[in-house]
Structure 1
Amino acid sequence: MSEIVRRIGASPRERGSASGANCPDIFELSDGNFAVIGTDATEKLDGELPSDASRGPKERIVVITRATLVRARMDIPDI
């Protein structure tokens, strides 16, 4: 099982969360993949996926804030 290596981008507190809890986050894993904490929007967005997109039975559509992704941009590796 992969382990969290590091946070990608600013922490929730750095993005303005007063409590630092229940906020979107992005982590790089030891196998090179990424884990995302976000709001599950699978039921709402599943029917809106483009025809060339699909979701496996164990996959969920997760929404993160724009600020979370923009602040993570410089930490995302090129390769």
Structure 2
Amino acid sequence: MHDEFTSVRIARRLGDPPRKRGSYTQETCPDLFELSDGNFAVIGTEATTALDPHLPQDAARADYERIVVISRETLIRAKKDIPDA
């Protein structure tokens, strides 16, 4: 864990919980959270190896960063909870 996150907490979920989106087995539960420091955290499928070679030329990823995928439905349902500013 990076030291910068030791005092950060999950403040709230954005969008509907996985169960409301049809995940009754808890096997697939992409999720978005707003953190106490104003940043966001994502639970998704790790896809760094597959997608890294396809990043646009003006995109970069640090060694400690990962590309994760969430379903379109997860993000659309979270849209109502994402602040404009």
Fold match, TM over 0.5? yes
Which residue in 1 is equivalent to 2:40? 34
Of residues 75, 81, 85, the one that matches 1:75 is 81
- Size of the aligned set, in residue pairs, is 79
**Structure 1: how far apart are the matches of 2:58 and 2:51?**
15
8 Å CA contact retained: 1:12, 1:21: no
Question: Which residue in the other structure is 1:10 paired with?
Answer: 16
Q: Which runs of 4+ in 1 moved over 3 A?
A: none
Query: Which structure 2 residue ranges, 5 or more long, are not aligned?
Result: 1-6
The letter of the residue matching 1:69 is L
In the alignment, what sits opposite 2:55? 49
Matched, 1:63 2:72: no
Runs (5+) with no aligned partner, structure 1: none
Structure 1 stretch 20-29 or stretch 40-49: which is displaced more? 20-29
RMSD over aligned Cα, in angstroms?
Answer: 0.9
Decide whether aligned partners of structure 1 residues 39 and 4 sit closer, same or farther in structure 2, where only a CA change above 3 A counts. same
Counterpart secondary structure, 1:13: helix
- Whichever structure has more helix as a proportion of its residues is 2
Give the whole-Å Cα distance in 2 for the aligned partners of 1:20 and 1:26.
Answer: 15
Once the two structures are TM-superposed, the CA of residue 10 in structure 1 deviates from its matched residue by 0.4
Q: CA deviation at 1:18?
A: 1.3
Structure 1 letter corresponding to 2:63: P
Calculate percent identity across the aligned residue pairs: 62
TM-score after normalising by structure 1: 0.95
2:31 matched residue in structure 1: 25
